Amino acid sequence: MNKRVAILGAGSWGLAVSRLLAQQGCKISMWEFDPEDYKRLVTTRCNPDKLADFKLDDGVELTADPVDAVVGVDVIVVAVSSQHVRSVMNVVRDAIGRDVIVVNLAKGVEKGSLQRMSEVIVEEAGVEPNRVATLSGPSHAEEVAFDMPTTVVVASVNSDLAVQVQELFSTERFRVYQSDDVVGVELGGSLKNIIAIAAGIIDSLSLGDNTKGALITRGLAEITRLGVAMGARAETFAGLSGLGDMVTTCFSRHSRNRYVGEKLGLGMKLDEVLAGMTMIAEGVETTRSGRDLARRHAVEMPITEEVYHVLFENKDAREALGNLMGRRLRAEIWQ
């Protein structure tokens, strides 16, 4: 396609996406913020701590300067963690061209502001909402990087832009659908990480498939309630960025959020778990933000509430489970 693309972030997802876009004939510049990781990528074209057995395409240009990465490009792909999107977009703001497309890959809700990632990008980078799209769905980098069949969704308020991004990212092994429900797609991709932490706790306690099935079903119900209260469509949460991503994240050995829950269920403290990780588990801060959003919109989210207590108040996981099972009986479908 001969598109000039900047990828901001050389973590596992940024690396995997670089391969997708290289297959599409894009000219790619990639920014890595960590000096040691940058040096490793320049010298070896690999970073096994982020993505094992993966080598960067020879045509990908590396830079330690995010401004240098975005100058003159057609597309900016935001592949940094959600809590760093604002600071990165602030740095590159003045270098962004008028007609640039921004594709967000970050899955999270910003701490404090409680803004979704597209909102942060619009506010901090000074771009119009109709130039921003979010790509989300069940898409672990460890599988995308090695051409395992994957299907995701791109959402934008601009349907023409959604089509452009759909065509840019779609390959024989990576299929992209489109949506105009930006709120639903972003919330689904973010809040499912809370449920994945709970899934890890279930796994550590050997509670079985019945429990996991109940968690996913009721977790999806409470995320949908919040999404609808925030203007999303309920059916979006039954799609790729909702149910699809949630199932994948709750069961996958690649899931960092499920891993956090597993370690917590085994009795480790949150600080210990996070100190032993090389990459960020988005669900930790999203649990805090998700709980705050639920309170702001007066939406009951009991699983999110209990995960919050386990993460930040050292509540025993079995006690949290007991509280959920002992809640007042009610109809399955309720507002």
- The catalytic residue positions are 192
Q: Give me Rg for the CA atoms of the chain.
A: 19
In 3D, which of 103, 41, 107 has the Cα closest to residue 73?
A: 103
Please answer whether residues 118 and 78 qualify as being in contact, where contact means their C-beta atoms are separated by less than 8 angstroms: no
In 3D, which of 29, 23, 25, 26 has the Cα closest to residue 9?
A: 29
Return d(Cα 158, Cα 151) in angstroms, integer: 21
SS (H, E, C) 75-137: EEEECCCHHHHHHHHHHHHHHCCCCCEEEECCCCECCCCCCEHHHHHHHHHCCCHHHEEEEEC
Q: Concatenated DSSP letters for 300-314?
A: --HHHHHHHHHHHH-
Structure tokens at 52: 């094992």
Let me know if 181 is exposed, middle or buried by CB neighbors in 10 A (0-12, 13-18, 19+). Answer: buried
CA geometry: angle 276, 282, 288, nearest 5 deg: 105
